[in-house]
């Protein structure tokens, strides 16, 4: 460690800071805050295994771009005027792409008529098709006559020539209902309801602008709500996301303020110096810089959850800084003090890095980003301790302080309860048996419904909008597979026939498929035949007497078929909701009887029922399994390192401390009814990593002159970690609260187990009161001599697990412990 090393490392950190500012501040790397973008973000080689998730992602992405409002009033005109007013206000909000009202739908009619008229004979509404199949063409003929002479008729010379029986308006009316854009004003219980649908800019999702859009939209709606006779309801993913973000942001701000203030107060109260505080900030800051630099170099888009988890995992780095600044300056020069902690620091780093690196083998980009962030950050924090902290001023912790007295008392108590090696090995066996037993009584709950805070008002408004107008996202949909579009369309037509009984009985409120908008070519050919046989043949001559055009029956060979191609998508962009990759989607409304639906679909091939909530929950279940695997790799690596460093028996005992902390976190969360999911499993990672640091630091300092300093550092680390992570348990967001509870339980267990599993300390069991306890206290040198003699006997009792280095050698060199130096 020289000035040149420090200078080189400072240059590296400055370059990392510049890179982060350029990438993130300049917009070259996008920080994706959209939860939907996380769904289905699998590594490319495994993408074909997540077809359901791909479709869920597509559906949620489409739904996230739509905000639905429903304006109600006691009179029709008042409701329409209120909806028009709201639409105008929404259209001026930054991020609004388009606002649709029933009047706007009517304004699209000329464009739709012009596009569909060449296909008029091939397109029939369900009711017109049924009339023709039943031989009731006369009803359609009489309706055509009425339409011709109606004052509001849209009939012109072109439409009379291409669609003399006015089949197309009926088809378009049915289509508008299928597309769910609100066919018009709905009257219910003496009030009139008008839909207003806002289409959002796709760039809004995943940015912090969506919260601003929601705030502006709420103000626009509230301005109408002030009127006594008008009520405005709203629904949409953007509103729910903003509500969750508001809760989380409020909690995070409160917790961050308390944690930061607590840590600053703790460091100041213990050291009475700015040096240790600066050391902690520099160490953690360098880790965060390195983590962000690593992920932005590798990934063009980084998810916010990866950054949040990465930053929290970097919280381990504060242990490194506290471990160094807690060493009494009287132990020697900065270089000598660094050498005292280097073995424990290195072992802790290796254990953590191996564990987090194991996450990168998962098929999930999220876990890969977390792994890269954490590994790079921890290595940077380690290098900062080595290269920079020795240049900062160090202030000794005064012996008269309560925390010093507490550490001395705790060390004495821990000495008394620490069993010999056979007892510690027995405890490890109990811990391993506990893991086996935990698989029997700890169950997982990956349901996404248990993660959020929820918003009762929005949920109630969503239900009302769905019940009154049939609008809003449906939780379930069907995926239709097939080798080509024609096959899929025919399957969807058969599907509607199959589900008709459910629609009639109310087990299913509604459904819409691509075939409802664009029939299969087979169905269009059948429609043309029905129109020729049941309309033109018996009624064309009669109709011709009432219109000034020649009526020509449609020719099946010359009538073009309507296809689900790019031309149709340009006119009807809503069709994007019905297509996903090489498959079609059937949107369901109001599934009241899931069992009946599954039974109806049982014999239909290439039709798959998908519940987005279940699909996402299953995805997080797979994430959890990969996190289990990575945690197992971390625990095995810690065991191997401990055995290699301390020998078989003591290595197993050292491994037992972080493993026991994880088990206690599992048992405690089970006792408190905390659901076990992917996120709480990631919290176990943090528990294991910090618990491993605790026991490794203590094991390395055993019998050394700086052992009491290490105990102090571990206690300070516990306090800082509980402040940083344990306060999460107070969050109102269930997910955040659960993570905090798991971490708090695990860290407390790790702190209790670490000194026990590290072995007996250099403590006086012969009747002397511990340092800092009131009463007679011998001189420090005399105590060390007496302790060393006793510890030699302890080592013989424990089987010489620390490779037989005598304490007499330590007495000759007070700065040299049995494990000082490099690994």
- What are the DSSP calls for 308-333, one per residue? HHHHHHGGGHHHHHHHHHTS-GGG--
Percent of the chain at pLDDT exceeding 90: 9
Query: Is pLDDT above 70 for 793?
Result: no
Claim to verify: residue 632 and residue 673 sit in the same structural domain? yes
**Which of these ranges, 221-225, 459-463, 797-801, has the smallest mean pLDDT?**
797-801
| Phi, psi angles (nearest 5°) of residue 586 | -110, 115
Domain extent, residue 235, equals: 66-201+208-257+523-563
Query: Is pLDDT above 80 for 767?
Result: no
Query: Is pLDDT above 50 for 789?
Result: no
- Which of 397-406, 474-483, 645-654 has maximum average pLDDT? 645-654
Among 414, 372, 358, 277, which residue's Cα sits nearest to residue 681? 358
Claim to verify: residue 591 and residue 619 sit in the same structural domain? no
Query: Is pLDDT above 60 for 777?
Result: no
Across the chain, how many H-helices and E-strands are there? 33, 12
Sign of CA dihedral 422, 424, 430, 432: negative
Confidence of residue 1 (pLDDT cuts 50, 70, 90): low
Query: Is pLDDT above 70 for 249?
Result: no
Q: Give buried/exposed letters for 451-477 (b at 16+ CB in 10 A, else e).
A: bbbebeebeebbebbbebbbbbbbebb
Q: Does residue 551 lie in a domain region? A: yes
Region 12-27: mean pLDDT is 83
Confidence of residue 750 (pLDDT cuts 50, 70, 90): very high
User: What is the pLDDT, as a whole number, of residue 363?
Assistant: 66
pLDDT (tens digit per residue) in 647-670? 999 999 999 999 999 999 999 988
- DSSP lists the bridge partners of residue 479 as 585, 608
Claim to verify: residue 235 and residue 312 sit in the same structural domain? no
Among 123, 120, 143, 139, which residue's Cα sits nearest to residue 131? 139
- Which of 246-260, 488-502, 688-702 has maximum average pLDDT? 488-502
Confidence of residue 431 (pLDDT cuts 50, 70, 90): very high
Region 403-418: mean pLDDT is 77
Query: Is pLDDT above 80 for 148?
Result: no
pLDDT (tens digit per residue) in 535-571? 888 988 888 887 777 778 887 777 788 888 888 878 8
Going by C-beta distance under 8 Å and a sequence separation of 6 or more, which residues neighbour residue 574? Answer: 179, 181
User: What is the pLDDT, as a whole number, of residue 382?
Assistant: 92
Confidence of residue 768 (pLDDT cuts 50, 70, 90): very low
User: What is the pLDDT, as a whole number, of residue 182?
Assistant: 47
Q: Does residue 126 lie in a domain region? A: yes
Claim to verify: residue 483 and residue 625 sit in the same structural domain? no
Region 712-733: mean pLDDT is 79
Confidence of residue 103 (pLDDT cuts 50, 70, 90): low
Which pair of structure tokens corresponds to residue 651? 């290595």
Query: Is pLDDT above 70 for 742?
Result: yes
Q: Count CA atoms closer than 13 A to 24's CA, side-chain side.
A: 20
Whether the Cβ atoms of residue 338 and residue 324 lie closer than 8 Å to each other: yes
Q: Count CA atoms closer than 13 A to 641's CA, side-chain side.
A: 26
DSSP assignment string, 567-622 = HHHHH-GGGGGGEETTEEEEEEEEE--HHHHHHHHTT-TTEEEE-HHHHHHHHHHH
Q: Report the first-to-last Cα separation within the chain, whole angstroms.
A: 16
Which pair of structure tokens corresponds to residue 473? 């996202």
User: What is the pLDDT, as a whole number, of residue 470?
Assistant: 66
**Which of these ranges, 25-39, 283-297, 314-328, has the smallest mean pLDDT?**
25-39
Q: Which long-range contacts (CB under 8 A, 24 or more apart) does 601-604 make?
A: 601/478, 601/498, 604/491, 604/494, 604/495, 604/498
**Residue 195, helix vs strand vs coil:** strand
User: What is the pLDDT, as a whole number, of residue 548?
Assistant: 74
User: What is the pLDDT, as a whole number, of residue 507?
Assistant: 86
Among 605, 627, 420, 591, which residue's Cα sits nearest to residue 506? 591
User: What is the pLDDT, as a whole number, of residue 664?
Assistant: 94
Could you give the CA distance from residue 788 to residue 806 in angstroms, rounded to a whole number?
Answer: 9
Of residues 114 and 339, the one with the higher pLDDT is 339
User: What is the pLDDT, as a whole number, of residue 155?
Assistant: 66
β-pairing, 477-480 vs 66-73, is: unpaired
Claim to verify: residue 440 and residue 503 sit in the same structural domain? no
User: What is the pLDDT, as a whole number, of residue 701?
Assistant: 82
Query: Is pLDDT above 60 for 183?
Result: no
Q: Does residue 809 lie in a domain region? A: no
Confidence of residue 523 (pLDDT cuts 50, 70, 90): very high
Residue 566 burial by Cβ neighbours in a 10 Å radius (0-12, 13-18, 19+)? exposed
Query: Is pLDDT above 70 for 807?
Result: no
Whether the Cβ atoms of residue 274 and residue 394 lie closer than 8 Å to each other: no
Could you give the CA distance from residue 706 to residue 700 in angstroms, rounded to a whole number?
Answer: 10
The radius of gyration of the chain's CA atoms, rounded to the nearest angstrom, is 35
Of residues 797 and 542, the one with the higher pLDDT is 542
Region 450-467: mean pLDDT is 76
Among 220, 169, 230, 237, which residue's Cα sits nearest to residue 194? 230
Region 619-628: mean pLDDT is 83
Distances (CA, A) of 493 to 169, 574, 590: 21, 19, 20
Region 291-307: mean pLDDT is 80
Number of domains in the chain: 4
Query: Is pLDDT above 60 for 278?
Result: yes
Region 624-639: mean pLDDT is 85
Residue 547 parent element (H or E) = none
User: What is the pLDDT, as a whole number, of residue 761?
Assistant: 55
Query: Is pLDDT above 70 for 341?
Result: yes
User: What is the pLDDT, as a whole number, of residue 657?
Assistant: 92
Residue with tokens 């095995």: 636
User: What is the pLDDT, as a whole number, of residue 660?
Assistant: 94
Claim to verify: residue 73 and residue 151 sit in the same structural domain? yes
Region 66-84: mean pLDDT is 87
Query: Is pLDDT above 90 for 379?
Result: yes
Residue with tokens 């203590």: 698
Q: Where are the alpha helices (DSSP H) in 388-420?
A: 402-417
Region 230-250: mean pLDDT is 79
Claim to verify: residue 417 and residue 390 sit in the same structural domain? no
User: What is the pLDDT, as a whole number, of residue 790?
Assistant: 35
Q: Does residue 309 lie in a domain region? A: yes
**Residue 2, helix vs strand vs coil:** coil
Confidence of residue 494 (pLDDT cuts 50, 70, 90): very high
**Which of these ranges, 148-162, 193-207, 624-638, 786-800, has the smallest mean pLDDT?**
786-800
Q: What is the 3-state secondary structure (H, E, C) of 84-148?
A: HHHHHHHHCCCCEEEEECHHHHHHCHHHHHHHHHHHHHHCCCHHHHHHHHCCCHHHHHHHHHHHH
Claim to verify: residue 577 and residue 664 sit in the same structural domain? no
Distances (CA, A) of 808 to 55, 705, 787, 803: 70, 13, 11, 14
Query: Is pLDDT above 70 for 774?
Result: no
Distances (CA, A) of 554 to 114, 120, 518, 532: 18, 9, 19, 7
**Which of these ranges, 85-94, 121-130, 453-462, 758-767, has the smallest mean pLDDT?**
758-767
Claim to verify: residue 534 and residue 435 sit in the same structural domain? no
User: What is the pLDDT, as a whole number, of residue 823?
Assistant: 28
Q: Does residue 822 lie in a domain region? A: no
**Residue 478, helix vs strand vs coil:** strand
User: What is the pLDDT, as a whole number, of residue 352?
Assistant: 81
Q: Does residue 806 lie in a domain region? A: no
Query: Is pLDDT above 50 for 214?
Result: yes
CA 523 from chain centre, in angstroms, equals: 44
Claim to verify: residue 671 and residue 559 sit in the same structural domain? no
Claim to verify: residue 294 and residue 389 sit in the same structural domain? yes
Going by C-beta distance under 8 Å and a sequence separation of 6 or more, which residues neighbour residue 18? Answer: none
**Which of these ranges, 242-246, 404-408, 496-500, has the smallest mean pLDDT?**
242-246
Q: What is the CATH number of the domain that holds 304?
A: 1.20.1640.10
Q: Does residue 816 lie in a domain region? A: no
Q: Does residue 782 lie in a domain region? A: yes
User: What is the pLDDT, as a whole number, of residue 785?
Assistant: 39
Claim to verify: residue 757 and residue 728 sit in the same structural domain? yes
Of residues 506 and 496, the one with the higher pLDDT is 496
Could you give the CA distance from residue 646 to residue 634 in angstroms, rounded to a whole number?
Answer: 18
Region 111-140: mean pLDDT is 87
């Amino acid at each position: 460690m020289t000035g040149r090393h420090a200078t080189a490392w400072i240059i590296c950190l400055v370059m990392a800071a510049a890179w982060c500012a350029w990438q993130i501040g300049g917009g070259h790397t996008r920080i994706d805050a959209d939860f939907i973008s996380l769904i289905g973000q699998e590594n490319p080689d495994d993408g074909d295994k997540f077809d359901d998730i791909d479709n869920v992602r597509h559906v949620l992405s489409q739904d996230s771009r739509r905000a639905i409002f429903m304006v109600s009033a006691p009179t029709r005109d008042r409701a329409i005027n209120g909806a028009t007013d709201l639409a105008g206000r929404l259209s001026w909000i930054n991020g609004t792409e388009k606002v649709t009202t029933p009047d706007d739908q009517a304004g699209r009619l000329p464009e739709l008529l012009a596009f569909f008229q060449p296909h008029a004979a091939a397109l029939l509404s369900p009711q017109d098709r049924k009339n023709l199949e039943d031989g009731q063409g006369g009803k359609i003929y009489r309706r055509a006559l009425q339409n011709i002479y109606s004052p509001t008729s849209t009939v012109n010379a072109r439409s009379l020539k291409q669609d003399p029986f006015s089949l197309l308006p009926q088809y378009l009316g049915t289509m508008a209902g299928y597309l769910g854009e609100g066919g018009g004003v709905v009257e219910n219980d003496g009030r009139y309801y008008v839909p207003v649908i806002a289409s959002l800019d796709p760039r809004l999702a995943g940015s912090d602008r969506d919260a601003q859009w929601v705030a502006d939209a709420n103000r626009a709606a509230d301005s109408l709500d002030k009127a006594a006779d008008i009520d405005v309801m709203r629904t949409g993913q953007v509103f729910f996301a903003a509500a969750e973000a508001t809760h989380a942001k409020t909690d995070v701000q409160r917790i961050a303020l308390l944690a930061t203030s607590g840590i600053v107060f703790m460091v100041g109260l213990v050291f009475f110096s700015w040096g240790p505080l600066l050391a902690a900030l520099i160490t953690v800051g360098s880790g965060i810089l390195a983590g962000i630099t690593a992920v932005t170099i590798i990934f063009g888009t980084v998810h916010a959850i990866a950054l949040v988890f990465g930053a929290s995992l970097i919280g381990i780095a504060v242990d490194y800084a506290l471990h160094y600044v807690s060493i009494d300056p009287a132990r020697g020069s900065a270089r000598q003090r660094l050498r005292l902690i280097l073995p424990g620091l290195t072992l802790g780093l290796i254990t953590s890095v191996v564990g987090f690196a194991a996450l990168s083998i998962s098929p999930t980009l999220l876990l890969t980003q977390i792994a890269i962030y954490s590994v790079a950050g921890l290595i940077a924090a380690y290098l900062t301790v080595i290269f920079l902290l020795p240049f900062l001023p160090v202030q000794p912790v005064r012996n008269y302080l309560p925390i010093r007295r507490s550490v001395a008392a705790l060390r004495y108590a821990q000495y008394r309860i620490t069993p010999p090696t056979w007892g510690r090995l027995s405890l490890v066996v109990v811990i391993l048996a506990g893991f086996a037993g935990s698989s029997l009584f700890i169950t997982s709950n990956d349901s996404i419904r248990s993660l959020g805070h929820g918003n009762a008002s929005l949920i109630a408004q969503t239900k009302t909008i769905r019940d009154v107008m049939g609008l809003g996202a449906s939780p379930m949909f069907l995926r239709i597979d097939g080798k080509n579009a024609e096959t899929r369309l025919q399957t969807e037509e058969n599907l509607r026939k199959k589900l008709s009984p459910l629609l009639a009985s109310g087990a299913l409120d509604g459904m819409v498929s691509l075939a409802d908008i664009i029939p299969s070519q087979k169905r269009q050919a059948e429609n043309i035949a029905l129109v020729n046989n049941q309309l033109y043949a018996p009624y064309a001559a009669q109709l011709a007497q009432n219109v000034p055009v020649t009526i020509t029956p449609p020719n099946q060979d010359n009538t073009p078929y309507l296809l689900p191609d790019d031309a149709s998508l340009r006119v009807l962009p809503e069709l994007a909701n019905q297509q996903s990759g090489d498959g079609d989607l059937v949107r369901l409304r109001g599934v009241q009887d899931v069992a009946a639906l599954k039974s109806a679909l049982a014999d239909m091939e290439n039709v798959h029922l998908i519940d987005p909530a279940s699909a996402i929950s299953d995805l997080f279940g797979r994430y959890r399994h990969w996190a289990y695997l990575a945690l197992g790799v971390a625990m095995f690596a810690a065991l191997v390192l401990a055995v290699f460093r301390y020998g078989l028996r003591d290595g197993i005992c050292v491994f037992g401390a972080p493993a026991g902390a994880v088990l206690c976190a599992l048992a405690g969360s089970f006792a408190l009814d905390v659901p076990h999911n992917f996120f709480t499993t990631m919290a176990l990672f943090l528990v294991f990593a910090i618990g491993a640091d605790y026991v490794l630091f203590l094991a390395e300092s055993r019998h050394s002159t700086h052992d009491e300093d290490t105990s102090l550092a571990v206690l300070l680390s516990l306090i800082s970690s509980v402040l940083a992570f344990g306060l999460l348990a107070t969050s109102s967001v269930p997910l955040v609260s659960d993570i905090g509870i798991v971490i708090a339980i695990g860290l407390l267990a790790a702190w209790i187990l670490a000194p026990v599993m590290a072995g007996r300390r250099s403590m006086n069991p012969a009747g002397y009161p511990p340092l800092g306890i009131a009463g007679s206290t011998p001189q420090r040198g005399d105590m060390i001599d007496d302790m060393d003699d006793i510890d030699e006997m302890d080592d013989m009792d424990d089987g010489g697990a620390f490779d037989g280095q005598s304490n007499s050698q330590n007495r000759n060199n007070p700065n040299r412990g049995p494990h000082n130096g490099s690994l």
